[in-house]
Amino acid sequence: MDDLRKLSRRNFLAGGATAAAGGLAAPHLVPASALAAPGRPGPNDRIGVGYIGVGRRGMQLSGLPAAGQIVGVCDIDRNRAQAAAARLQCPPYTDYRKMLEAKDVDAVLVATPDHWHALVCIRACQAGKDVYCEKPLGLTVREGRAMLDAARKYGRVFQVGMQRRSSSAYRIGCALAREGRLGKVHTVIGPNYPSPWLSKLPAQPVPDGLDWDVWCGQTEPVPFNQDIYIQRARPGWISLQPYSGGEMTGTGAHTLDIVHWALGADHTGPVEVWAEGGKLEPVVYSAPEDRNRGDAHCSRGHQVAFRYANGVTMKLDDATQDWVFLGDKGKMTIANEKITTDPPEIAAEALKGVKKDGPASHLQNWLDCIKSRERPNADVEIGHCSTTVCHLGNIARWVGRKLRWDHEKEIFPGDDEANGYLERPMRKPYELPRTL
């Protein structure tokens, strides 16, 4: 079906009128899937949501739509957990496992640092809780696969925090590309996001109430330093290799996902990936310093490209901050939620009256799907495929040569060095469950 027609105001209103008329004309039958049951709230029930990780991002997402109710918050920083609990009027936890035992928690929103996503989400699925996990989905390809497998095995609704999937502007822009308005898309060009680097920052006193050893989780513990602990500090964990894939996964998980959506490649991946500039040797920060040097060293001169089976090439370029789709009938540029085309008439009618959609629309979609048991806009499989592309970009830089990728098997055929980056050693007792 034409996604652009589905979004037109006229068809939306007509569809609503038809549905209302049909509801009056036919007996109202309630399917079993709409009735409340353990692990499946009914359509009139408020969904109890526990928040795991209530730092900057967790609190940004605390404006839960009316269908949900925050019934607990968890953070390994006791003071942070207590402050969030007082603000949101709910119990505080410092151990997410205790929260998962709570009967009033139907679902969890996970906004921890990246290296904690997989274990928390898998345990939540095993506990019968639906999941909203901030992007990127996992720290490695193997983690993402384990999260997908857990969601499917335990029948959980699993939304990934790629909020642009619930944006009207991105929905229309991606539909323009998929439905041939640009002709055959042959090239996509976007920003060249930095890979992560390393740190040997000096020890500082651990703040009162913070369990630093637990924060380190699966990674080997290092001395506490606030410039590791704070997400985007100097440099912050999101730029450091033990805890994140850098901005390649931090921002790239949003934007490379949009490319997949536009190309109709939600459930696939590239067949080749390569990076310029030879093998990337990450810099090491040994003193407080802003991110500029690390970002520059881990991106510029190491531009990444991907080739898909249908011949489309995606290039990450130092010279742009926008996303450009080139087809044989036109060009589309996406900059945040602003979409322009050349020639302009490709998108002029479709984009009339489009509004910006905030995170609430993505949360609403998740809550709606918890009740209907449908898959959400950014289902875990979509999140896994899009995040995997980001991981492949990092791996291409780390090995410094062209790689072949088998999406079905999720391996680099015959390449032990590259395959060695598909997972990382995990410290006990923070390994993933051996069996799901």
pLDDT in tens, 336-365: 878 999 999 888 777 776 766 667 899 999
Q: Are strands 331-335 and 338-342 parallel, antiparallel or unpaired?
A: antiparallel
**Rounded mean pLDDT of the chain?**
89
Reported as a single tens digit per residue, the pLDDT across 285-331 is 999 899 999 999 999 999 999 999 999 999 999 999 999 999 999 99
| Residue 330 Rama label (left phi>0; alpha psi -120 to 50; beta) | left
The two three-digit tokens of residue 436, written as one number: 């799901």
Task: In whole angstroms, give the CA distance from residue 275 to residue 258.
Answer: 21
Output the pLDDT for position 9: 31
Output the pLDDT for position 324: 97
Output the pLDDT for position 374: 97
| Cα dihedral 193, 198, 200, 204 sign | positive
Task: State the angle between helix axes of 252-263 and 380-399 in degrees (0 to 180), rounded to the nearest 10.
Answer: 110
The two three-digit tokens of residue 427, written as one number: 């410290």
The two three-digit tokens of residue 235, written as one number: 């440099």
* Positions of the chain with pLDDT lower than 70, given as ranges: 1-44, 353, 355-358
Q: Under a CB-based contact definition with an 8 Å cutoff, are residues 361 and 67 in contact?
A: no
The two three-digit tokens of residue 138, written as one number: 């996992």
Task: In whole angstroms, give the CA distance from residue 26 to residue 30.
Answer: 12
Count the alpha carbons within 13 Å of 88 in the hemisphere toward its beta carbon: 27
Task: In whole angstroms, give the CA distance from residue 9 to residue 360.
Answer: 21
Output the pLDDT for position 74: 98
Question: Which domains, from first to last, does the chain contain?
Answer: 35-163 (3.40.50.720), 165-356+379-419 (3.30.360.10)
Q: Containing H/E element for 394?
A: helix 380-399
Q: Under a CB-based contact definition with an 8 Å cutoff, are residues 119 and 429 in contact?
A: no
Instruction: List phi, psi (to 5°) of 274.
Output: -150, 160
